[in-house]
């Protein structure tokens, strides 16, 4: 067994690997970029080594620096986690050449299964069914022969990066170009393949485990059909779709796929399965590493997959055969990501101001977070995983929903509330899943409105903050309770604003709270920090709003013609120049963050009068990128309110956080009557 293992990764997977190494009595070494110098995985390791500044190419993707760090710290082995270099055959070979054990399969197996085209040919020769398709250089011709819909996929990578579903073949060339660009950026290789698209498919994968002595077993399946943009967000084991006969057949096919490439260690064979005919399954790809969703398999088998990765890499035999593997109970995992569902799931960022990670019977949290963690656009948006186990599926789902309601990451918007609502969707509860379900139902799962109870809580917290220190006697006129000599108490008025929502007026008087004129009982927040409030998995940043200042600046920079960055990231494509005439909806720029592209389009027809960025420019959220002055026709068609003068807007202004006269509140309810869930 090894004495020291270097973990060549970051975030929650590095923390998770370090935990098992500690249990095995193995010394752990963490590596980090400058951005991660105080990260949780660095603090939990026995030793840490700086390997460079961001970006990842200078640190976590630097083969030379990681190998040098392993040798310098006396490590005998390297655990790659997942992502970064985990499926990089060059890295695995460099470790072996340096006398280090790579905790994973051989470089040849990684290279073979990492090439989706060769992988399909290899497993097909071993008798494993594959999806009909084609490859470069005859990609376009193969796509047209298959007929729409087809799926474009990078040959060199996975995780949904570079994948394009094409239902209209007139857009084929444009989609191929976009897929190549993203594949090249993500994997350094723009080779593509095309496959027939199976409508309403299930995504089911089989966990395999192999030692270096010819023993291969499978550990059952995981259902991964709940996806958004081709990326898994909820996984569970076992699948409600499979009966024992199909499970046995798919497991045997996965074992043969592993044998076909001489596999060693933990790996996953992924299948696409028509929901109406589970017996007709097709091989998609093999992931030659630990999967993000491995905890659900651990919970139903009782096996620590990281431990067995280490033991197999150290030369040990698997002490169990296929007949010894039993699946008990049910487990479900949710991926907590730094993204804002209310802004179209754009990547988010910020500092974790307050953190509460759920615990309890049957609940496990794998996380790389701690309070003070700075979440940036430099790395993948996944922050943590919340996993629940139960004797049956209903119990596991119920426990996971409750755990997500207790999850708090104030300062960084996440998808926790969205995932909780998804897990309560009738189709999910019934097990009627497919890979398109989330996209079809997404609008009903995103919290459209801020509950008025949350606004009320924000008003109460602001009211408390106005109170003077209670040191001896306090002038009654200094108290924020509206007290007046010989009259009823006055209302104290606060104006707050949640990004993406209209400003709201909150009036507080004693224990009474009005939100836009409607009596409201304040919610009891899960947590509060600064301007942030959380409730049942959702979180909001409630900023003070000054109506007068807003009216004065509304006609200036940042108006309707200004195009701003929807997320912190990097400009990768600029398609226009100052002076260009553009049409409404025309693509102007592309911003990339956390491995995701976002197209910035013209809001109306007009002329580009300002362009403040070029390819490679790093931008902050809401930073102005360009300005498109509307044409005369576009100006005339704008809503009347958009052409109001500054004086008109000023006359509609009001004071912010002031004490008003004791009169009935003005205004009308804003219609936000959704209760806190």
- For 53, the token pair is 């500044």
What is the DSSP-derived secondary structure letter of residue 476? G
**Pair 170, 207 in one domain:** no
Q: Final residue of a domain: which of 151, 179, 196?
A: 196
Say if residues 450 and 254 touch (Cβ distance below 8 Å): no
Please give the Cα distance from 331 to 363 (Å, whole number): 10
What is the DSSP-derived secondary structure letter of residue 503? -
pLDDT score recorded for residue 621: 76
User: Which residues face 265 on adjacent strands?
Assistant: 210
Say if residues 23 and 92 touch (Cβ distance below 8 Å): no
**Pair 57, 148 in one domain:** no
Q: Pick the closest to residue 186 from 218, 142, 231 (CA basis).
A: 231
Using 50, 70 and 90 to split pLDDT, how confident is the model at 557? very low
pLDDT tens for each residue of 198-250: 888 999 999 999 999 999 999 999 999 999 988 999 999 999 999 999 999 99
pLDDT score recorded for residue 560: 60
199 class by beta-carbon count within 10 Å (0-12 exposed, 13-18 middle, 19+ buried): exposed
**Pair 239, 208 in one domain:** yes
**Pair 174, 212 in one domain:** no
Task: Identify the CATH number of the domain in which residue 139 sits.
Answer: 3.30.1490.20
**Pair 50, 140 in one domain:** no
For the chain, what is the mean pLDDT? 88
pLDDT score recorded for residue 439: 94
Please give the Cα distance from 103 to 17 (Å, whole number): 11
Rounded mean pLDDT of 61-75? 97
pLDDT score recorded for residue 303: 98
How many domains would you assign to the chain?
Answer: 4
pLDDT score recorded for residue 559: 55
pLDDT tens for each residue of 399-434: 999 999 999 999 999 999 999 999 999 999 999 999
Q: Is 119 helix (H, G, I), strand (E, B) or coil?
A: helix
**Pair 177, 300 in one domain:** no
pLDDT tens for each residue of 37-50: 999 999 999 999 99
pLDDT score recorded for residue 666: 31
The yes-or-no verdict on residue 677 having pLDDT over 60 is no
- For 386, the token pair is 């919340």
pLDDT tens for each residue of 561-612: 789 888 888 899 999 999 999 999 999 999 887 667 788 999 999 999 999 8
Q: Pick the closest to residue 224 from 277, 292, 276, 282 (CA basis).
A: 292
pLDDT score recorded for residue 663: 34
**Pair 146, 246 in one domain:** no
Please give the Cα distance from 360 to 408 (Å, whole number): 15
Q: What percent of the chain has pLDDT over 90?
A: 70
Count other C-beta atoms under 10 Å from residue 31's C-beta. 29
Rounded mean pLDDT of 365-384? 93
**Pair 61, 150 in one domain:** no
**Pair 35, 176 in one domain:** no
> What is the per-residue DSSP string for 30-94?
EEEEGGGTT-HHHHHSSEEEEEE-SSGGGTTT-HHHHHHHHHHTT-SEEE--SSTTTT-HHHHHH
Q: What percent of the chain has pLDDT over 70?
A: 91
Over its C-alpha atoms, the chain yields an Rg (Å, rounded) of 28
> What is the per-residue DSSP string for 655-677?
-SSEEPPSSPPPS---S--PPP-
Task: Identify the CATH number of the domain in which residue 638 sits.
Answer: 2.40.50.100
Rounded mean pLDDT of 352-363? 96
Say if residues 233 and 438 touch (Cβ distance below 8 Å): yes
Instruction: Report the predicted TM-score, pTM, of the whole model to 2 decimal places.
Output: 0.82
Using 50, 70 and 90 to split pLDDT, how confident is the model at 660? very low
Q: Is 522 helix (H, G, I), strand (E, B) or coil?
A: coil
* CB under 8 A, 24+ apart: contacts of 589-593: 589/563, 589/613, 589/625, 589/626, 591/565, 591/566, 591/567, 591/619, 591/625, 592/185, 593/346, 593/347, 593/377, 593/567, 593/568, 593/569
**Pair 190, 207 in one domain:** no
Please give the Cα distance from 134 to 192 (Å, whole number): 9
Say if residues 471 and 452 touch (Cβ distance below 8 Å): no
Say if residues 18 and 301 touch (Cβ distance below 8 Å): no
3-state per-residue secondary structure call for 569-592: EEEEEECCCCCCEECCCCEEEEEE
The yes-or-no verdict on residue 353 having pLDDT over 90 is yes
Q: Final residue of a domain: which of 409, 427, 445?
A: 445
Please give the Cα distance from 140 to 176 (Å, whole number): 8
The answer to the question of residue 676 being in a domain is: no
**Pair 261, 244 in one domain:** yes
The answer to the question of residue 461 being in a domain is: no
The yes-or-no verdict on residue 442 having pLDDT over 70 is yes
Angle at 598 between CA 596 and CA 599, to 5 degrees: 150
The answer to the question of residue 489 being in a domain is: no
Using 50, 70 and 90 to split pLDDT, how confident is the model at 633? low
Please give the Cα distance from 164 to 204 (Å, whole number): 20
Using 50, 70 and 90 to split pLDDT, how confident is the model at 466? confident
The answer to the question of residue 503 being in a domain is: no
Task: Identify the CATH number of the domain in which residue 219 sits.
Answer: 3.30.470.20
The answer to the question of residue 508 being in a domain is: no
Q: Which of 119-128, 386-395, 550-559, 563-572 has the lowest mean pLDDT?
A: 550-559
pLDDT score recorded for residue 526: 76
The answer to the question of residue 188 being in a domain is: yes
Say if residues 78 and 95 touch (Cβ distance below 8 Å): yes
Burial of 126-136, coded b for 16+ CB within 10 Å and e otherwise, reads eebebbebbbb
* 659 Rama class: left (phi>0) / alpha (psi -120 to 50) / beta: beta
Say if residues 283 and 271 touch (Cβ distance below 8 Å): yes
pLDDT score recorded for residue 634: 52
Which ranges of 329-386 would DSSP assign to H, the alpha helix?
none
Please give the Cα distance from 675 to 487 (Å, whole number): 34
The answer to the question of residue 186 being in a domain is: yes
- For 264, the token pair is 């060693």
Say what the alpha-carbon torsion angle 385, 389, 394, 398 is, to the nearest 10 degrees. Answer: -50
Task: Identify the CATH number of the domain in which residue 75 sits.
Answer: 3.40.50.20
Give the residue numbers spanning the domain of 67. Answer: 4-103
**Pair 153, 249 in one domain:** no
Say if residues 406 and 390 touch (Cβ distance below 8 Å): no
Q: Which helix (H) or strand (E) holds 256?
A: helix 244-260
The answer to the question of residue 394 being in a domain is: yes
Q: Final residue of a domain: which of 196, 229, 249?
A: 196
């Amino acid at each position: 067994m090894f004495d020291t293992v270097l973990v060549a990764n970051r975030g929650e997977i590095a923390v998770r690997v370090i935990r098992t190494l500690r249990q095995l009595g193995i010394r752990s070494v963490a590596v980090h970029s400058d951005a991660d110098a105080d990260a949780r995985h660095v603090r939990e390791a026995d030793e840490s080594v700086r390997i460079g500044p961001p970006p990842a190419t200078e640190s976590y993707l630097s083969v030379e620096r990681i190998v040098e760090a392993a040798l310098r710290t006396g490590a005998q082995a390297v655990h790659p986690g997942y992502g970064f270099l985990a499926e990089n055959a060059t890295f695995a070979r460099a470790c072996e050449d340096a006398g280090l054990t790579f905790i994973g399969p051989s470089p040849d197996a990684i290279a073979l299964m990492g090439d989706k085209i060769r992988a399909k040919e290899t497993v097909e020769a071993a008798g494993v069914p594959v999806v009909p398709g084609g490859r470069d250089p005859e990609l376009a011709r193969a796509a047209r022969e298959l007929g729409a819909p087809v799926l474009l996929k990078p040959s060199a990578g996975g995780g949904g990066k570079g994948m394009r579903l094409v239902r209209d073949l007139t857009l084929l060339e444009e989609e191929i170009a976009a897929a190549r660009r993203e594949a090249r950026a993500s994997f350094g290789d723009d080779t593509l393949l095309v496959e027939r698209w199976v409508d309403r498919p299930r995504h089911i994968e089989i966990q395999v485990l192999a030692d270096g002595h010819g023993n291969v077993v499978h550990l059952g399946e995981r259902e991964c059909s709940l996806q958004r943009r081709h990326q898994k967000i909820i996984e569970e084991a076992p699948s409600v779709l499979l009966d024992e006969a199909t499970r046995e057949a798919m497991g045997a096919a996965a074992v043969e796929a592993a044998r076909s490439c001489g596999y060693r260690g933990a790996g996953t064979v992924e299948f696409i399965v028509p929901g109406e005919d589970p017996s007709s399954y097709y091989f998609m790809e093999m992931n030659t590493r630990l999967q993000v969703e491995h905890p659900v398999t651990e919970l139903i088998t009782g096996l620590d997959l990281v431990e067995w990765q280490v033991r197999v890499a150290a030369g040990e035999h698997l002490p169990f055969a296929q007949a010894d593997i039993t699946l008990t109970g049910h487990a479900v995992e949710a991926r907590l990501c730094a993204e804002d569902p209310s802004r179209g799931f754009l990547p988010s960022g910020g500092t974790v101001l307050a953190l509460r990670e759920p615990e309890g019977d049957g609940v496990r949290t794998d996380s790389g977070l701690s309070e003070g963690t700075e979440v940036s656009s430099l790395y993948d948006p996944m922050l943590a995983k919340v996993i629940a186990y139960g004797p049956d599926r209903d119990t596991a789902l119920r426990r996971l929903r409750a755990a997500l309601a207790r999850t708090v990451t104030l300062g960084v918007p996440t998808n926790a509330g969205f995932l909780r609502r998804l897990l309560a969707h009738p189709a999910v509860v019934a097990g009627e899943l497919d890979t398109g379900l989330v996209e079809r139902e997404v609008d009903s799962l995103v919290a459209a409105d801020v509950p008025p109870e949350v606004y009320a809580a924000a008003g109460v917290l602001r009211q408390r903050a106005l109170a003077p220190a209670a040191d001896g006697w306090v002038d009654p006129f200094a108290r924020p309770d509206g007290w007046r000599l010989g009259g009823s108490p006055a209302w104290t008025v606060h104006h707050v604003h949640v990004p993406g929502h209209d400003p709201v007026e909150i009036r507080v008087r004693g224990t009474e709270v009005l939100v836009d004129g409607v009596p409201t009982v304040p919610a009891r927040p899960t947590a509060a920090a600064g301007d942030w409030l959380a409730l049942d998995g959702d979180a909001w940043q409630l900023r003070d709003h000054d109506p007068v200042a807003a009216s004065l600046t509304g006609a200036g920079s940042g108006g309707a013609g200004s195009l701003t960055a929807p997320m912190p990231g990097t400009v990768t494509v600029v398609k226009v120049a100052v002076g260009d005439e553009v049409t409404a909806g025309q693509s102007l720029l592309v911003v990339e963050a956390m491995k995701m592209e976002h197209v910035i389009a013209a809001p109306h027809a007009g002329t580009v009068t300002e362009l403040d960025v070029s390819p490679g420019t790093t931008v902050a959220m809401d930073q102005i990128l360009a300005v498109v002055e509307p044409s005369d026709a576009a100006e005339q068609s704008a809503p009347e309110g958009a052409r109001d003068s500054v004086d008109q807007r000023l006359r509609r202004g009001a004071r912010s956080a002031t004490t008003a006269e004791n009169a009935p509140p003005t205004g009308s309810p804003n219609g936000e009557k959704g209760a806190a869930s």
